[in-house]
Structure 1
Amino acid sequence: MSGGIIRPYGDTTGDGMVQVSFTLPVPCDKRGEGAALQLAAKMGLDPAMVVHAKQMGEGFTFFVVYGRVNHLVDLSQVVVAERDFPLLSAKEVNALVKRRLRRKLVVVGACIGTDAHTVGIDAILNVKGIAGEKGLEYYRELRVVNLGAQVAVPDLVEAARAEKADAVLVSQVVTQRDAHLHNTREMSAAFREAMPADRRPLLVVGGPRFDERMAGELGVDRIFGRGTTPAEVASYLVHALITNRPQARRAA
């Protein structure tokens, strides 16, 4: 990414105008709007105005505030998790698995803990996929086992062992009290305890609130954020399990 100093854009280039939204435990009245403006000022918005306020139940109000900030963004200091593997077509994925692995690549997927939001994992695994792109069930050289929602970690480990999984994909949408982080750490610890390193499946997690740079901290091999496509996941699995470790996985 090229360097450069930029400011937010609102009405005119570089005017520093931004829009933020939040909920405060206050009634939807003038005093509540004053509280929203006080918070906006402490956030660095000056001047600021409340452009929307709506009661969200008794004693709670949702606000949208528009205002100017003086903060600058240094593009040279932005750090992101870049894709470090080639993006392959379904045909290329199938050919590599068939030629190099010489058996089906087994993928077990689930939503763990109390998370019942299967839209993300279904978009990646189910043949219908997302936005016109087929899911991993469409790949003839992949065998997909979708365990669904609210799967306990011990059950996931046992399923992965029984299916001889090459990779485990976990989707986490619920983030209250960092549930997605706690669940991921619990899962990675369970797999480390249950299986030796050379027999452990690849651990991949995804969800809209994950920081893709936290894989090492959470004990998993890869994190995928919002907007991830089935092709990206399939390409990564081939890259990690076959292209980078051909001998180890062929002998598995």
Structure 2
Amino acid sequence: MTRQQQTRTDVPEIQDIPSIIRPYGDTTGDAMVQTSFTLPVPAGKRAELAALALARQMGLDPASVVHVKPMGPDFTFFIVYGKVNHLIDYAGIEVPEGREYPLLPAKEIELAIRTVLNRRLVVVGACIGTDAHTVGIDAILNVKGFAGEKGLEYHREIQVVNMGAQVTVEELVARAKADNADAVLVSQVVTQKNAHIHNTKQMAAAFHDAYPTAVGPGMGRPLLIVGGPRFDTVTEDELGVDRIFGKGTTPGEVASYLVHALLPSWTPEESA
């Protein structure tokens, strides 16, 4: 079987999928969905009726409470199953374009930094605020990497400073200045009360205040990159950063972006 035939077999073409679709529950097109939530009331019959009332306001009709669990004396967790009347225009959904930069092999990343900078590219990374989840930042920075790719520490031409968890914004700015950072990578996993958004905005504002000149190697402010699983509701402009990376990002994507953003004068042809 040819590569082209495999692609047609493994990935359905858009024309093979109905244009208008509904959720799938028990049978195709039955529009059944399942949702969960917690109400600030004690468990009981009144609480279940309140859950059903909320479900109907959410557009589930008919709806059934299929699971109830007290969460202490004053809260109750519910799972509700019901039918929605909404339709999805699948064919009309616009898919964002792919990345605007190529994924580069490690050798080209090394060559680009060595050719343009003639020094090591400095990256400072941290989890800021009260966030103590270092798995994400470690996956990008540490040599062990993620998804079969080595982290940024693997690159001889990249100097990595991993500050770890619960770093204050003031500490991050001071370290970036002390090490003449070209890029700052911040990981945010904790999302309660939108802590990840508030922390990132605070961090970005501090860097913009501390560096009055434009971003660029030796020119001023370091490139500001933030990553985490719950940044899909905001844009870079809203946060004041240069790039947002979501879940599943690999070290190679980040390294390639650093070359794209910080070394725009370099092109892969230079490696010839």
Q: State TM-score, norm by structure 1.
A: 0.88
Change in Cα spacing, 1:50 to 1:208, as seen in structure 2 (3 Å) is same
CA contact 1:124–1:135 (8 Å) conserved in 2: yes
> 1:199 aligns to what SS in structure 2?
coil
List runs of 5+ in structure 1 lacking aligned partners.
Answer: 247-252
Q: State TM-score, norm by structure 2.
A: 0.82
1:118 is aligned, of 110, 123, 134, to: 134
Structural mapping, 1:1-252, within 5 Å: 4-75=19-90, 76-78=92-94, 80=96, 82-195=98-211, 196-197=213-214, 198-211=219-232, 214-242=235-263, 244-246=264-266
Q: How many Å apart are 1:164 and its aligned residue? A: 1.0
Change in Cα spacing, 1:35 to 1:159, as seen in structure 2 (3 Å) is same
Instruction: Measure, in 2, the Cα distance between the counterparts of 1:38 and 1:94.
Output: 60
Q: How many Å apart are 1:204 and its aligned residue? A: 0.4
> 2:150 aligns to what SS in structure 1?
coil
Instruction: Measure, in 2, the Cα distance between the counterparts of 1:183 and 1:43.
Output: 31
CA contact 1:213–1:223 (8 Å) conserved in 2: no
C-alpha distance after superposition, 1:145-203 (max 9, x if no partner): 00111111121111111111111000112222222212111111111111122411100
Change in Cα spacing, 1:59 to 1:143, as seen in structure 2 (3 Å) is same
Instruction: Measure, in 1, the Cα distance between the counterparts of 2:156 and 2:71.
Output: 48
Aligned length: 246
Change in Cα spacing, 1:55 to 1:131, as seen in structure 2 (3 Å) is farther
Greater Cα radius of gyration, structure 1 or 2: 2
Instruction: Measure, in 1, the Cα distance between the counterparts of 2:133 and 2:78.
Output: 27
Instruction: Measure, in 2, the Cα distance between the counterparts of 1:53 and 1:89.
Output: 52
Q: How many Å apart are 1:94 and its aligned residue? A: 2.2
